[in-house]
């Protein structure tokens, strides 16, 4: 029992010092003077507002990506004790003292720093040499664009981190597969692959590209597994099942989890409420929930309601009427009924109130007990402030002459009778006897005489559907009293909880459907300009001196990365053709290594770059950074391949190594030259700035005076 005392306690640690050194250098390069500049830099102005929303737990909607990315940034704010009080309105604005700049920028910087040792690991796991792995990591270390992007409160470095993590853990898993399937580390790396993939997707939709790549490589490997007839059917099935769970189920569950946490975190109503449906808004604290609290659930004859168009685009609106009438003759010469206008109004207003009236009775109050309105009932809708009822007739509508005009009926005594009976149809009813419910029911009004449907003229199908948003039982007989009643705010409480899945699907759908108008931006660029680094983005300019931060890559690395890619493609084509004619230049294992490295690195570049040609949104240089990292991984692979297989003699090999060292030093030199633009720490003279403008298309800011 006490046997362990008889032997000395020995801890053997295998520390790869180069890995430690790389991590250290990565941290140094990314974290050095992290709080400088203490001002809003470029897109921080965009992400910052969402961090503030998180800190204040206010609901928001952002179409740029799933919430996980914003949450990661907000975590930094939470750790730094940020209260969310900062007005994110202008690039260059000085941060006030309550903004914990260091901790806000910490997580992206850490992600950027850790990408350096990960590049080392990936190349090693691809079974290339230690030297090649060091090369990849050192290139990552000195790439100016990656440094700039990591040091700010932006998401690309986090995305790159998870991309690399997904690739790395898949490679670890794949290498485990050969000797110890179903071992603990096998499971660990497999699961981590799935987790990293879903995190990448959760940061930005762009992560999908890497996810697809990993899935594709996994599918090919699984297909080979299927062909391995030494394995039993059960064993193969287990393998496939494990992969399906880890690479398909886990990412989906995690993705839902991000939204779940998001919706738990932001539970207060905020400025983006209006885009969501009434039911969704009612599930938020404050806002609509405060107004609709305690309002009766069932709409009865005599109820006072506001009617909101369910799919109103681009902004939601409420059925509205006011004293003004349609002009007798329109500009184009058509006539109208000259009755009271009915519109859809995107703001809350007392004129949005309507009273549901039973056509057979005269009173406008709710009887006791209330008689609920059911599907198929005939109703009249009386405008609260003017007591005129909603009417439609065979007169062309003002803007859509093919549709009927909708008005509030005014009796001019001109043999144009009122046609104000509407049949209520509840679209999402459970049965035919369903009661019209506040907020929950989506209803359609079918005109009895003409069987036309009340419609908002923009859009297509959905716009015929309305729901009741605010609702109360009317109690005042007199018009005066009623007006006063309408002006007083509705009150009071039942929180109507939507299920998580309903809220998730609505939120996800709106995020995908939301189209921000793609305006051109001064620094927007096209994908073709990225490969050769023909463009840059000015991120920040010091308010007084000419110190400035640019997103500007190390041009030596960019160009040689693209060259390496071209060499890889040409060499692969050459080898493929030769193999087809049964000439094997490479030994089998070297060939397999070459193919796998290409599939992941060149493939990673392709999936992260080529889709941008199909996108119509505004694109920026930083969209290229994930593709660039894969290109950087490919570079040492190609270099080692040339040295191992294409250099015939020792002499050639030595010359080649010397060339590589010279090339790397030039990359370091360029990196160092561009350093003032990366860190923005040094104010350069106009002359020096002009000297840095190596391409005419680079936009480097020079103060005139």
Partner 1 sequence: MPPATGGGLAESELRPRRGRCGPQAARAAGRDVAAEAVARSPKRPAWGSRRFEAVGWWALLALVTLLSFATRFHRLDEPPHICWDETHFGKMGSYYINRTFFFDVHPPLGKMLIGLAGYLSGYDGTFLFQKPGDKYEHHSYMGMRGFCAFLGSWLVPFAYLTVLDLSKSLSAALLTAALLTFDTGCLTLSQYILLDPILMFFIMAAMLSMVKYNSCADRPFSAPWWFWLSLTGVSLAGALGVKFVGLFIILQVGLNTIADLWYLFGDLSLSLVTVGKHLTARVLCLIVLPLALYTATFAVHFMVLSKSGPGDGFFSSAFQARLSGNNLHNASIPEHLAYGSVITVKNLRMAIGYLHSHRHLYPEGIGARQQQVTTYLHKDYNNLWIIKKHNTNSDPLDPSFPVEFVRHGDIIRLEHKETSRNLHSHYHEAPMTRKHYQVTGYGINGTGDSNDFWRIEVVNRKFGNRIKVLRSRIRFIHLVTGCVLGSSGKVLPKWGWEQLEVTCTPYLKETLNSIWNVEDHINPKLPNISLDVLQPSFPEILLESHMVMIRGNSGLKPKDNEFTSKPWHWPINYQGLRFSGVNDTDFRVYLLGNPVVWWLNLLSIALYLLSGSIIAVAMQRGARLPAEVAGLSQVLLRGGGQVLLGWTLHYFPFFLMGRVLYFHHYFPAMLFSSMLTGILWDTLLRLCAWGLASWPLARGIHVAGILSLLLGTAYSFYLFHPLAYGMVGPLAQDPQSPMAGLRWLDSWDF
Applying CB under 8 A, which residues contact partner 1? 223, 226-227, 229, 233, 236, 400, 457-460, 517, 519-522, 577, 580-582, 614, 616
What SS3 class is residue 94?
strand
Per-residue burial over 32-58, b if 16 or more Cβ lie within 10 Å, else e, is eebeebebbbbbbbebbbbbbbbbeeb
Nearest to 564, CA basis, from 606, 594, 602, 590: 602
387 vs 403 by CB, closer to partner 1: 403
Burial class, 318, CB count within 10 angstroms (exposed 0-12 / middle 13-18 / buried 19+) = buried
Smallest gap from Cβ 227 to partner 1, in A, equals: 5
224 vs 480 by CB, closer to partner 1: 224
Smallest gap from Cβ 316 to partner 1, in A, equals: 18
CA 550/CA 622 separation, integer angstroms: 11
Asked if 86 and 52 touch (Cβ cutoff 8 Å), the reply is yes
229 vs 499 by CB, closer to partner 1: 229
Q: CA quadruple 479, 481, 486, 492: dihedral positive or negative? A: negative
What SS3 class is residue 519?
coil
488 vs 697 by CB, closer to partner 1: 697
Smallest gap from Cβ 519 to partner 1, in A, equals: 6
Smallest gap from Cβ 456 to partner 1, in A, equals: 11
Smallest gap from Cβ 232 to partner 1, in A, equals: 11
Rounded to 5°, the CA angle 425-426-432 comes to 90
Asked if 472 and 303 touch (Cβ cutoff 8 Å), the reply is yes
Smallest gap from Cβ 407 to partner 1, in A, equals: 21
314 vs 489 by CB, closer to partner 1: 314
Smallest gap from Cβ 480 to partner 1, in A, equals: 35
206 vs 486 by CB, closer to partner 1: 206
CA 115/CA 140 separation, integer angstroms: 8
Asked if 373 and 441 touch (Cβ cutoff 8 Å), the reply is no
Smallest gap from Cβ 216 to partner 1, in A, equals: 16
Burial class, 137, CB count within 10 angstroms (exposed 0-12 / middle 13-18 / buried 19+) = buried
Smallest gap from Cβ 695 to partner 1, in A, equals: 14
Smallest gap from Cβ 581 to partner 1, in A, equals: 7
323 vs 457 by CB, closer to partner 1: 457
536 vs 629 by CB, closer to partner 1: 536
* Packing angle, helices 101-125 and 625-641, rounded to 10: 30
Smallest gap from Cβ 229 to partner 1, in A, equals: 5
Asked if 111 and 156 touch (Cβ cutoff 8 Å), the reply is no
63 vs 94 by CB, closer to partner 1: 63
Give Rg (Cα) of the chain.
Answer: 33
CA 532/CA 514 separation, integer angstroms: 33
Smallest gap from Cβ 520 to partner 1, in A, equals: 6
CA 346/CA 318 separation, integer angstroms: 6
Smallest gap from Cβ 390 to partner 1, in A, equals: 23
Nearest to 624, CA basis, from 540, 548, 671, 562: 562
Residues contacting 676, CB < 8 A, separation 6+: 547, 682, 684
Asked if 375 and 477 touch (Cβ cutoff 8 Å), the reply is no
577 vs 661 by CB, closer to partner 1: 577
Question: What would the two tokens of residue 176 be?
Answer: 């485990």
Smallest gap from Cβ 550 to partner 1, in A, equals: 18
Smallest gap from Cβ 5 to partner 1, in A, equals: 56
449 vs 491 by CB, closer to partner 1: 449
Query: What is the distance of C-alpha 150 from the center of its chain?
Result: 19
Where does residue 12 fall: left (phi above 0), alpha (psi -120 to 50 degrees), or beta otherwise?
Answer: beta
Pairing outcome for strands 404-408 and 390-396: antiparallel
191 vs 618 by CB, closer to partner 1: 618
8 vs 227 by CB, closer to partner 1: 227
Q: Which residues pair with 407 in a beta bridge?
A: 341, 391
Q: Which residue reads 């840059």 in tokens?
A: 536
Burial class, 460, CB count within 10 angstroms (exposed 0-12 / middle 13-18 / buried 19+) = exposed
The number of helix segments (H) and strand segments (E) in the chain equals 24, 12
CA 644/CA 637 separation, integer angstroms: 10
| Phi–psi pair at 452, nearest 5 degrees | -85, 160
582 vs 649 by CB, closer to partner 1: 582
CA 600/CA 606 separation, integer angstroms: 10
363 vs 697 by CB, closer to partner 1: 697
């Amino acid at each position: 029992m006490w046997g362990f005392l008889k032997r000395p306690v020995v801890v053997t640690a295998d520390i790869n010092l180069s890995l430690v050194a790389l991590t250290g250098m990565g941290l140094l390069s990314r974290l050095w003077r992290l709080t400088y500049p203490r001002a809003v830099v470029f897109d921080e102005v965009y992400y910052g507002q969402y961090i503030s929303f998180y800190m204040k737990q206010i609901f928001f909607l952002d179409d740029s990506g799933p919430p996980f990315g914003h949450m990661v940034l907000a975590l930094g704010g939470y750790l730094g004790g940020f209260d969310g009080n900062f007005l994110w309105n202008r690039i260059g604005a000085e941060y006030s003292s309550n903004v914990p700049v260091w901790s806000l920028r910490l997580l992206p910087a850490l992600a950027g720093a850790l990408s350096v040792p990960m590049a080392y690991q990936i190349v090693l796991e691809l079974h290339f040499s230690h030297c090649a792995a060091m090369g990849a990591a050192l290139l990552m270390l000195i790439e100016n664009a990656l440094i700039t992007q990591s040091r700010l409160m932006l998401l690309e470095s986090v995305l790159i981190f998870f991309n690399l993590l997904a690739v790395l853990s898949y490679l670890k898993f794949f290498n485990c597969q050969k000797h110890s399937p179903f071992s603990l580390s096998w499971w660990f790396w497999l699961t981590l692959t799935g987790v990293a993939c879903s995190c990448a997707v959760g940061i930005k939709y762009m992560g999908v590209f890497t996810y697809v790549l990993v899935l594709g490589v996994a599918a090919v490997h699984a297909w080979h597994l299927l062909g391995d007839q030494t394995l039993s059917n059960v064993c193969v099935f287990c393998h496939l099942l494990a992969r399906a769970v880890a690479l398909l189920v886990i990412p989906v569950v995690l993705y839902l989890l991000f939204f779940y946490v998001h919706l738990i975190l932001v539970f207060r109503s905020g400025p983006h409420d209006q885009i969501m449906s009434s039911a969704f808004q009612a599930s938020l604290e404050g806002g609509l929930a405060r107004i609709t609290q305690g309002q009766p659930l069932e709409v009865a004859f005599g109820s006072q309601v506001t009617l909101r168009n369910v799919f109103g685009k681009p902004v939601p609106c409420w059925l509205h009427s006011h004293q003004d009438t349609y002009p007798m003759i329109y500009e184009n010469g058509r006539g109208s009924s000259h009755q009271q206008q009915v519109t859809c109004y995107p703001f809350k207003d007392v004129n949005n109130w309507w009273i549901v009236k039973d056509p057979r009775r005269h009173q406008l109050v709710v009887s006791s007990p209330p008689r609920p309105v059911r599907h198929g009932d005939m109703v009249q809708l009386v405008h609260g402030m003017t007591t005129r009822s909603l009417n439609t007739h065979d007169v062309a509508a003002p803007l859509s002459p093919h549709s009927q005009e909708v008005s509030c009926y005014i009796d001019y005594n001109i043999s144009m009778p009122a046609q104000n009976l509407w049949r209520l149809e509840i679209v999402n009813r459970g049965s035919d006897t369903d009661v019209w419910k506040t907020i929950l029911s989506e209803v359609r009004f079918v005109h009895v005489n003409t069987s036309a449907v009340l419609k908002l003229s923009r859009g297509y199908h959905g716009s015929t559907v309305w729901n009741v948003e605010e609702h109360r039982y009317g109690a005042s007989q007199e018009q005066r009293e009623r007006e006063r009643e309408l002006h007083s705010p509705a009150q009071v409480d039942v929180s109507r909880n939507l299920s998580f899945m309903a809220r998730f699907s609505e939120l996800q759908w709106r995020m995908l459907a939301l189209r921000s108008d793609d305006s051109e931006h001064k620094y927007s660029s096209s994908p073709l300009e990225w490969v050769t680094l023909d463009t840059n983005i000015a991120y920040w300019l010091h308010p007084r001196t000419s110190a400035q931060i640019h997103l500007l890559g190390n041009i030596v690395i960019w160009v040689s990365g693209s060259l390496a890619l071209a060499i890889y493609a040409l060499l692969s084509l050459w080898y493929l053709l030769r193999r087809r004619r049964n000439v094997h230049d490479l030994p089998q294992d070297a060939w397999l290594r070459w193919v796998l490295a290409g599939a992941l690195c060149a493939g990673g570049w392709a999936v992260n770059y080529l889709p941008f040609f199909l996108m119509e949104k505004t694109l920026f240089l930083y969209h290229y950074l994930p593709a660039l990292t894969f290109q950087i991984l490919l570079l040492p692979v190609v270099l080692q391949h040339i040295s191992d297989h294409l250099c015939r003699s020792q002499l050639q090999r030595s010359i080649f190594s010397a060339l590589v060292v010279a090339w790397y030093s030039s990359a370091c030199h360029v990196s160092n030259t561009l350093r003032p633009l990366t860190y923005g720490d040094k104010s350069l003279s106009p002359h020096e700035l002009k000297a840095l403008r190596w391409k005419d298309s680079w936009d480097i800011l020079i103060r005139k005076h």
